[in-house]
Structure 1
């Protein structure tokens, strides 16, 4: 346990630094989008490209892992909506609540931390998991969030609104540089392509900046989300709608990942213990911080989403270490 905390503490400490910097206005709120853009468009794509290019293509095309992980995501989305909706909230809040319960912070936090804990063996599975969440999980939840309709689509039937939302989600995925970096890295892995030395060193420098800047940015984004949400129409959202989703994220999600992974393994699917460990630890991560940005964009309850992300990030300092100690002990 102490050994795991020794690895994870610096990651959470950098998140705290970013949070305090934004809350104390050492980092202006107007500067946070710039940090986010650097991570999203430069540092993380460089890191993901390098990991993908250095991982055997067979590991990047692990259909057994992809199938089990997406089944876990489908169960998480369904259960979260069933438990939280019940006529009290609309599809927009229910679906984005399901996304924050299902989408772990793999990109900004999980990739560097799981590689630090497990070594390079974690790179391939974590890239598969990140791709699944970016392409499938987020697209499904965004599509479900549009079932309520808005002023422009209220006259359309639900099926038409769903198709329109799926098209928008697909365009968002196609415009995500992290997705393209993984695709290009996979092509490089399959073909044995290597970047010229000077360009490779440039990409390596950007990739090395990804972890500290991304973690600092998570904290700043969380601080901004809580400060902004506290001023909006959802400012008085209660904590009663937060803790069930947070418990689903930190407890149910890793339990489902581990349990279904073991069931699939026993059924004959080619899932190794190492892959199940990566999937379980990924599910034990806190909620992805970018869901707060989606909540703002789609007019959901930003206070609720921001509080879930903040709660899971703080609680994961202990809960993730417990799961990691159990899985690696």
Structure 2
């Protein structure tokens, strides 16, 4: 694996984030358009990228069990550690503990991880990116939502059946998950896409990285870094340090597998939490502290990602 310049990888990423921030801060772009741009990436660009990638990938050769175990187990351990720490040390409610754990264990692989991978490897490592999204969308996010929905139902007198019904509806309507499922089906059946369809989806896929980073920057405008400094700090440290260390531990414990996949698993784990973290939190608690945590983690990730890149390369 060739050496890379950490500065050449990190600076362009945060430059686009900065452009997005300045565009909204100076009101060149109204902040009201940022959520729509985010939905454009989540509902169209990334699903197009994932679907087209999977349709041109052999699933049999793309899936590496050790990668799934390393990234999945490391992320799951980060979630459980965050939840246990919240309940045992911070004496948090179940909903708060679930949100803290979510912030520690679910990376912003779509909006930050994807552009970083492009910068590091030149082209998207399709298999690793797909497996990452599978873990996040089939394991971590469903687990987090189930805990949060169960906590809300129990506190509000709801039934287990209502929780399961709400959970299933949320799960089956995730566009990224649908793209993964359809892409896997197409790949396994050996179905090809017509050139005209592939080209159209390609236009959407190519917009993913730039628009995603712009949205991150624009989303940071107006968010005040206030709240419980202790909780903001330890969730940030948990995401940027503990999560990648746990994934690295799993990589070390498992039998050797592809070096590039090992690097990608640890690198993706070092990303800040998902950009919709405050949005998810707002469905259960006051989102202010979680928005502040997102700002701090995103800014500090400049340092953490740089360190991870320097160590791994």
Do the structures match in fold with TM over 0.5?
A: yes
CA RMSD of aligned residues (A): 2.3
SS at match of 2:227: coil
What's the CA shift string for 1:160-191, capped at 9, x where partnerless? Answer: 44x64344233222112122222222233333
Report the TM-score when normalising by structure 2.
Answer: 0.90
8 Å Cα contact 1:76/1:101 also seen in 2: yes
CA distance in 1, matches of 2:244, 2:210: 25
Q: Which of these residues, 262, 276, 281, is aligned with residue 295 of structure 1?
A: 281
CA distance in 1, matches of 2:15, 2:71: 29
Counting only pairs closer than 5 Å after superposition, residues 7-156 of structure 1 correspond to structure 2 as 7-86=9-88, 88-120=91-123, 122-149=125-152, 154-156=156-158
> Which segment drifts farther, 61-70 or 208-217?
61-70
Q: CA deviation at 1:104?
A: 0.5
Counting only pairs closer than 5 Å after superposition, residues 308-323 of structure 1 correspond to structure 2 as 308-323=293-308
Change (3 A) 1:22 1:81: same
CA distance in 1, matches of 2:205, 2:12: 18
8 Å Cα contact 1:59/1:125 also seen in 2: no
8 Å Cα contact 2:55/2:193 also seen in 1: no
Q: CA deviation at 1:60?
A: 4.2
> Which segment drifts farther, 51-60 or 209-218?
51-60
Change (3 A) 1:166 1:247: farther
Q: CA deviation at 1:111?
A: 2.1
Change (3 A) 1:165 1:120: farther
CA distance in 1, matches of 2:61, 2:75: 20
Q: Which of these residues, 239, 255, 262, is aligned with residue 249 of structure 1?
A: 239
CA distance in 2, matches of 1:115, 1:55: 18
What's the CA shift string for 1:25-46, capped at 9, x where partnerless? Answer: 3322321222122112211111
* 1:207 equivalenced with 2:241 (yes/no): no
Question: May I ask how many residue pairs the two structures share in their alignment?
Answer: 310
The answer for the alignment partner of 1:6 in structure 2 is 8
| Runs of 4+ with deviation above 6 angstroms | none
8 Å Cα contact 1:104/1:288 also seen in 2: yes
8 Å Cα contact 1:22/1:28 also seen in 2: yes
Change (3 A) 1:303 1:326: same
5+ unaligned residues in a row in structure 1: which ranges?
231-235
8 Å Cα contact 1:52/1:60 also seen in 2: no
Report the TM-score when normalising by structure 1.
Answer: 0.86
The answer for the alignment partner of 2:260 in structure 1 is 274
CA distance in 1, matches of 2:162, 2:99: 17
